[in-house]
Amino acid sequence: MKNSLNDKKLLEQQELLHKEGLQVLKELSLLSELSSYGKPFIVGSFDLQLLTRRDIDIEMVIDTLNKEYVQKLCSHLVGLNLGRIDLTVMDNTITKDSEMPNGCYVGVKYIRNETPKAERNPRSPLTWQLDIHFITEELARGKEKTEEVKRRLTPDKRLSMLRIKEKMTSHPQYHKTVFGIDIYDAVLDHDITDIQEFKKYMKEKGIDLAE
């Protein structure tokens, strides 16, 4: 794992990542484009300002599941005058991935024009990952959960979450068996404050995070 950052630097890093993410949304004209299809909601770590890496999650709520909107979004992104965008499209009504909602998914890896040449690859930490889920209203859970976490956040709990997320970001099990929601629940419901406590908490739930 990467070296731990102190609390001040964690907060500074979060602020810089959030500011850069707002610029990314602007460069991609993403929210204005999505708003022409339905109701886009930024959820998760970006909306909560709990960033430890470059990622943005969006719930795109539409009246009826329709791949036409996915096609329009991909066409919009491809048409932008940008250096590189990698797209992943998945219809989870067919794939049936239990970790994803029953809808359509567009994954965007965005390498900004200003990214140094040596870092211009999808696996670079300078690459932005945007996860966009096209779903109907009854399946939309991200906005509700995000607002719940936001109501319960305090400065101390925010720091606890950032400490744990900073250590988990490069962990091989992160976003496979352990997710951001596990960190939020651990801190909010069980007063977990650091990575060691979190590992113990997850082990009690049957997930061993030892490396």
Residues 6-50: pLDDT tens digits? 999 999 999 999 999 999 999 999 999 999 999 999 999 999 999
Predicted pLDDT at 140: 87
Domains and CATH numbers, the chain: 7-139 (3.30.460.10), 153-204 (no CATH)
Cβ burial of 24 (10 Å; 0-12, 13-18, 19+) is middle
Report how far residue 195's alpha carbon sits from residue 3's, in angstroms, rounded to the nearest whole number.
13
pLDDT at 100: 84
**Residue scoring higher pLDDT (199 or 100):** 199
Q: What is the mean pLDDT of residues 148-171?
A: 95
Strands 84-91 and 55-61: unpaired
Helix segments in the chain, DSSP class H: 7-27, 30-35, 45-48, 67-78, 92-95, 142-152, 155-168, 180-190, 195-204
Q: What is the mean pLDDT of the chain?
A: 93
More confident residue, 55 or 66: 55
**Higher pLDDT pick, 211 / 198:** 198
Query: Is residue 3 predicted with pLDDT exceeding 60?
Result: no
- At 211 the pLDDT is 67
C-alpha to C-alpha distance for 125 and 154, rounded to whole angstroms: 28
pLDDT digits (tens, 9 = 90+) for 94-142: 988 888 888 999 999 999 999 999 999 999 999 999 999 999 998 888 9
**pTM of the full predicted structure?**
0.92
Q: Does residue 4 register a pLDDT over 70?
A: no
The mean pLDDT of 174-180, rounded to a whole number, is: 90
